[in-house]
Amino acid sequence: MGECQRSGALVYQLDDKEREVDSLMVNFLSLESLSELGWAVELFAIVTITLLARFIALRLLKTIGEHLKRTDNIWDDAFLEAARAPLSWFILIIGLLWAIEVSGGFLETDLFSTENLGLVRQITFIVLIMLFLVKFISLAEANLIEQLQEADGSEQARMDPTTLHALAKLLRLSVVISAVLVALPTLGIEITALLAFGGVGGIALGFAAQDLLANFFGGLMIYLDRPFTIGDWIRSPDRDIEGTVEMIGWRLTIVRTFDKRPLYIPNSVFTTLAVENPSRMSNRRIYEKIGIRYQDADKMGEIVESVKAMLKAHEEIDTSQTLIVNFNSYATSSLEFFVYTFTKTTNWVKFHEIKQDVMLKIIEIVHANDADFAFPTTTLDGIDALLADVPGQVGGETSIAGPMK
């Protein structure tokens, strides 16, 4: 009997376990349980929609960009390229905030409150707009610089790269300052209090940063007065400064010397410095003094006229500028005439090629008139009588035999 009772009790226990399992399955598949899992389904749907929207938006921008690259308009290319990253981040952040709102009821924290999410949404919008505008200005600047490099001289005179760099820097600075001023009230910071603090602290800051402000205003004067631009060859008679301008910043200017060393010059130096800009010369000058022998004095007039005629006929000489060829002086060992004229080109290498051609033609003219160039000589009067008594003189030549003492 005891064994039968134990077997019956075991059967009853197994039946109870089966009923508990069945009850759990029914409760799990009930509508109440499924509704509790609804936030996870919504979260999955939000993530899917966000990634899909991001893919479609970037794909659409890429397609439009490929079509717009075929046009000559540089603004649309810069606009699409600048919008690519901010748009991608905007979709991802909006999707993230949406997912946090959906799951907010299951996360017991005030960090994800409606007010905080709204604040994050506003700050995100301000920052992304700022990044878009800064990127757009930089890309438009690069495109315009490239266009100016390919343009003719009249277009470069209307808008040079230095002015373009200055405008771009001012626009970027304006965008950043505007974004900060818009974001401060959103964060609960009063601008009036900040300005009052800035008025008091600005005085101390001004005294502490005198050199920095002097360099800033020096750079501003360079942009406004434009004594030189990027790519110009400059030099100063006051300082040992000569080279090509590589960059004009708000604090300093970089000049690359002709031995390829970078020279960093604070902008405040240019407010008191005399600067020569040879890059803006209209012509290059040829000025040479040439001496012929005294025994060719009777041929000087013909040589001068022939050289002047040669210069007037030379295709690289600018005859609209001053052109002078004249007998100039009685030198110690020669009769000198000078050549003063200007070439049409200002290119350094081509100028020397033209100057060489002019000098070679002058040599031909002098020799064609049976004259020659003088070199330093000394004439001793009365030496002929002395030489007549020297043994070994043959045909006017003097040779002294024996060792020199």
Provide the residue ranges of all domains of the chain, joining segments of one domain with +: 35-189, 212-279, 281-368
Tokens read off for 79: 């606009």
Of 248-262, 288-302, 333-347, which gets the smallest average pLDDT? Answer: 248-262
For 181-196, the pLDDT digits (tens) are 888 887 777 767 666 6
* Secondary structure (DSSP) of 164-192: HHHHHHHHHHHHHHHHHHHHHHHTT--HH
- Hey, which of 162-171, 224-233, 367-376 has the most confident mean pLDDT? 367-376
At residue 99's C-alpha, the angle toward residues 128 and 94, to 5°, is: 15
Pairing of strands 233-236, 241-248: antiparallel
Q: What is the pLDDT of residue 354?
A: 95
For 92-148, the pLDDT digits (tens) are 888 887 777 776 655 555 666 667 777 888 888 888 889 989 998 888 888 887 777
List residues bridging with 400 in a β-sheet.
none
Q: What is the pLDDT of residue 190?
A: 72
Tokens read off for 131: 């990044």
**pLDDT surpassing 50 at residue 359:** yes
**pLDDT surpassing 50 at residue 403:** no
**pLDDT surpassing 80 at residue 400:** no
Q: What is the mean pLDDT of the chain?
A: 77
For 257-280, the pLDDT digits (tens) are 988 999 998 888 888 888 888 888
pLDDT confidence bin for 316, thresholds 50/70/90: very high
This prediction's pTM: 0.54
**pLDDT surpassing 50 at residue 367:** yes
Identify the CATH assignment for 281-368 out of 3.40.33.10, 3.40.50.300, 3.30.70.100, 3.40.50.1980.
3.30.70.100
Neighbours of 214 (CB within 10 A): 16
| Between 213 and 151, the higher pLDDT residue | 213
pLDDT confidence bin for 317, thresholds 50/70/90: very high
**pLDDT surpassing 70 at residue 310:** yes
Tokens read off for 68: 């717009």
Mean pLDDT of 18-32: 48
Q: What is the pLDDT of residue 402?
A: 39
For 60-88, the pLDDT digits (tens) are 878 877 777 777 777 777 888 888 888 88
C-alpha distances in angstroms, 107 versus 42, 97, 104, 116? Answer: 15, 14, 5, 14
**pLDDT surpassing 70 at residue 226:** yes
Say which residue the tokens 């000394």 belong to: 378
Question: Does the domain at residues 212-279 carry the CATH identifier 1.10.10.60?
Answer: no
For 169-180, the pLDDT digits (tens) are 888 888 888 888
pLDDT confidence bin for 31, thresholds 50/70/90: very low
Residues 6+ apart with CB under 8 A from 237: 274, 276
**pLDDT surpassing 60 at residue 321:** yes
What does R_g of the chain's alpha carbons equal in angstroms? 44
